[in-house]
A and B are shown apart, each in its own frame.
Chain A
């Protein structure tokens, strides 16, 4: 799991500089409860909790998005059920169940 240590506060990569008074949104990441804010993208929500969105299929490193405008396709993440999501262009929604690794029955 690339989200190791995600329960520790500050384990993510996001540093919020503004717009901090928004309503909370709860979602699940690799089975653990996480919190984000209304208006966060899936990318923001996940990286507020863990340092990477997924693991590269072609190298050892994790990936955390790159272009943030839907062009590089670096930020596709898995859900427990349903289609993969492009994290930079999808808003986080209450109750989403996201995964940083492909579901077990995929590989």
Chain B
């Protein structure tokens, strides 16, 4: 920590970051809010560029009023100077009480007194043979294309994976007039039904999910397993899969959207020195905090970057993290009791979602050797298995020797599957092969960002 005089910095302007900033501003603390977006909202409430004309109702459906409220709160706070908004800026690294930030004006160092990380989540991906082909996207990416650009990337789309986003994106695409040929869910129907008692912690959400599922009709298939994405030079031509009864199926398509719910974006929490625990429910390593989001040493976490509770949970967690921060600064903080109760209910629901739509560990463990695991550098499952045989079953060692997790995405899209493959080879569980450590820079940066000013520091990535 750099001590008094430096600001409180919030990283991320999604639902968690916005509520954290609002809570700080209301207590008279003026936070710096660093965000990669051009406009605040995060991914879930992402706004299209200026000049687009669809209504919030069209963009965000039943969540429109929440999106509009968040945008309005943040825009007003930024316009009045109660928060110092730094849009289109990526935090590359942090250490010694300062963040290295790459923005439109180049790189700068921003010292902080306390730090609230609201870095959100990305799609949790399982490799499928052929997924490195152009025309295969994450489900989140598929949704962003529709929401922020009004488009999709194919005339006949197959969506595959599991989780709430699978159904939601399918319904949104259909509503927008896209042709969705099949929605392939690796979660067995029995698992989904068994999770219903937990899902009833949020009955409105559960019912909405059932209604959306009904709207998909015969396109939706539960309990499937994916064999491969068949491709030609241009992109996907079909998805080959097995249905729940074991029958071989094939669905023609020219675009595929993949995703198995979400994974927390934790690289900055890692660099900030947070401790991590393996969470069996989420099948991923998650940062350790107290219930308010305190990670220690003046660092606070909120939103999907801490626990995958979704947008409503992120708003609550953002308020809680800011309240903890204020209390630790010796300032009056809002009462947290009601928000903590809300968080418990949202957590129960979220665990129900995780149980209903599990990570497809067995499918990954059985991937053919030729499957590309690391999209960045084309490392295959076979090469990874050989690396385990040669160097041992520790994730960071396999990364050093076999380069899985070393590419330009910093392991975001291969590390969970990599861990599964390592564990399978070693005959152990995913929790026992270790956690891939984060490394700076957490986003690629041009070399010129580190050159002296005056020799071309104006460019940005």
Contact = CB atoms under 8 A, between A and B. Distances in A.
Interface residues of A, number: 46
B419 interface: no
A39 B52 contact: yes
A72 B409 contact: yes
B56 interface: no
A87 B359 CA distance: 30
Contacts of B49: 39, 91
B389 interface: no
A22 B376 contact: no
B443 A51 contact: no
A62 B313 CA distance: 38
B150 A74 contact: no
A71 B408 CA distance: 9
13 contacts: A13-B235, A17-B176, A19-B53, A19-B150, A41-B149, A47-B153, A56-B132, A58-B378, A66-B136, A66-B141, A69-B144, A73-B444, A74-B375
Contacts of A65: 137, 141
B149 A72 contact: no
Contacts of B235: 13, 51, 64
B138 A67 contact: yes
Contacts of A83: 446, 448, 459-461
Contacts of B50: 39
B141 A61 contact: no
A35 to B, nearest CB: 15
B413 A84 contact: no
A52 interface: yes
Interface in B118-139: 122-123, 132-138
Contact of B375 (A17, A18, A72): A72
A12 to B, nearest CB: 9
Interface string B371-415: 010011110000000000000000000000000000011001100
A89 B36 contact: yes
A15 interface: yes
A80 interface: no
B54 interface: yes
Given A13-B135, A15-B151, A64-B134, 10 more contacts: A17-B146, A19-B52, A19-B53, A44-B151, A51-B134, A51-B234, A65-B141, A71-B413, A73-B376, A73-B444
